[in-house]
């Protein structure tokens, strides 16, 4: 059964049409990226899927439930573009935020959050405050905070967009290690071709607004993936494929961002 099903989904804000009738099936456990020009409606689309925004028409289901319900049952976790850490909380306490807010008193929670912090390389910074961390480290805390929910669907909206290239490359390696073998479905928004290909099982290329999928590209690179995959000729070929689809989709429009 597919984890995410969209049938003729549309979304508009007043007269502004942001998502065209869109039908899509996303398999359980797959890593799917959405790549498209700025302003095309990627954030809007994933916010609808994550249950943060109602659809205008059509159907969306996440694990067979409407997105709002899936969100309330903690079946969806979201990592936004800005880490959004609370400045007065330490790394450890920020990582715990969602567990605290949701009052999920599970005795394993603390150990679990700690294991995740260790996994992303933050063991030495548990008592540090957000202002003492680099952007990449802050984003790791935000990722851990989302993973503590153990939601089967993780939605990430350009989580690495504000980071420098070297840090982004590290984050790709870390994210691949974290999600491989966890069975979590990931919906990942990006406008980096390299990032989309390095991380995904499937890349959906969006047209300019209103968003629609102009290409659906299977990324047949082996897993587990390390950064070395980026030297593989097949990797380069797949990046070119995505780039052509992206620019083909933008032809005839004035959108060049």
Q: Which residues bind ligand ADP (CB under 6 A)?
A: 13, 16, 18, 36, 38-44, 209
Site for Mg ion contains 206 (CB under 5 A): no
**Is the distance from CB of 65 to CB of 121 less than 8 angstroms?**
no
Specify the residue, 39 or 80, whose C-beta has the smaller distance to ligand ADP: 39
Q: How far is the CB of 224 from ligand ADP (least distance, A)?
A: 30
Number of residues located near Mg ion, criterion CB under 5 A: 1
Q: Which helix (H) or strand (E) holds 190?
A: strand 185-190
Q: Phi and psi dihedrals of 155, rounded to 5?
A: -110, 125
* Shortest Cβ 12–ligand ADP spacing (Å): 9
Phi, psi of 172 (to 5 degrees): -60, -45
Least gap, CB of 249 to ligand ADP (angstroms): 13
Of the two residues 99 and 154, which places its CB atom closer to ligand ADP in the complex?
154
Structure tokens given for 51: 């249950």
Q: Which stretch binds Mg ion (CB under 5 A): 43-51, 92-100, 127-135, 249-257?
A: 43-51
Structure-token match 């049409």, residue found: 17
Q: Does 43 bind Mg ion (CB under 5 A)?
A: yes
Return the closest-CA partner of residue 221 out of 242, 247, 248: 242
Contacts of 7 (CB under 8 A, 6+ apart): 23, 58, 59, 60
Structure tokens at 36: 């498209």
Q: How far apart are CA 250 and CA 155, in angstroms?
A: 25
Cα end-to-end distance, the chain, whole Å:
37
Q: Which stretch binds Mg ion (CB under 5 A): 40-48, 66-74, 191-199, 202-210?
A: 40-48
Task: Tell me how far, at minimum, the Cβ of 82 lies from ligand ADP, in Å.
Answer: 13
Angle at 230 between CA 226 and CA 234, to 5 degrees: 115
Q: Minimal distance in Å, beta carbon 173 to Mg ion? A: 24
Residue 38 binds which entry of ligand ADP, Mg ion, none, CB below 5-8 Å type-dependent: ligand ADP
Comparison of 79 and 98: residue with beta carbon closer to ligand ADP: 79
CB 230 to ligand ADP: min, Å: 25
Q: Which is nearer to ligand ADP, 43 or 185 (CB)?
A: 43
Residue 44 or 139 with smaller CB distance to ligand ADP: 44
Q: Which tokens sit at 116?
A: 């995740």
44 binds, among Mg ion, ligand ADP, none (CB under 5 to 8 A by kind): ligand ADP
Exposed, middle or buried: residue 60 (CB in 10 Å: 0-12, 13-18, 19+)?
A: buried
Chain residues in the site for Mg ion (CB under 5 A): 43
């Amino acid at each position: 059964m597919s984890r995410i099903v969209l049938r003729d989904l549309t979304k508009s804000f007043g007269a502004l049409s942001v998502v065209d009738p869109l039908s899509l099936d996303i398999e359980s456990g797959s890593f799917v990226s959405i790549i498209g020009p700025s302003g095309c409606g990627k954030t809007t689309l994933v916010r609808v899927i994550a249950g943060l925004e109602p659809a205008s028409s059509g159907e969306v289901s996440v694990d067979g439930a409407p997105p709002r319900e899936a969100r309330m049952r903690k079946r969806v976790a979201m990592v936004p573009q800005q880490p959004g850490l609370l400045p007065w909380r330490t790394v450890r306490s920020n990582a715990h935020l969602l567990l605290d807010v949701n009052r999920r008193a599970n005795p394993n929670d603390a150990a679990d959050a700690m294991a995740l912090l260790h996994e992303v390389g933050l063991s030495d910074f548990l008592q540090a405050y957000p202002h003492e961390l680099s952007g990449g480290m802050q984003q790791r805390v935000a990722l851990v905070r989302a993973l503590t929910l153990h939601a089967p669907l993780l939605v990430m909206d350009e989580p690495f967009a504000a980071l420098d290239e070297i840090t982004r490359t590290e984050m790709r390696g870390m994210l691949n290690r974290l999600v491989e073998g966890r069975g979590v479905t990931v919906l990942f928004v990006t406008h980096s071709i390299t990032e989309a290909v390095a991380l995904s099982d499937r890349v959906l290329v969006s047209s300019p607004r209103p968003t629609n999928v102009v290409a659906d590209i299977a990324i047949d690179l082996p897993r587990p993936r390390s950064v070395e995959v980026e030297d593989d000729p097949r990797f380069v070929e797949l990046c070119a494929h995505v780039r052509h689809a992206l620019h083909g989709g933008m032809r005839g429009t004035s959108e060049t961002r």
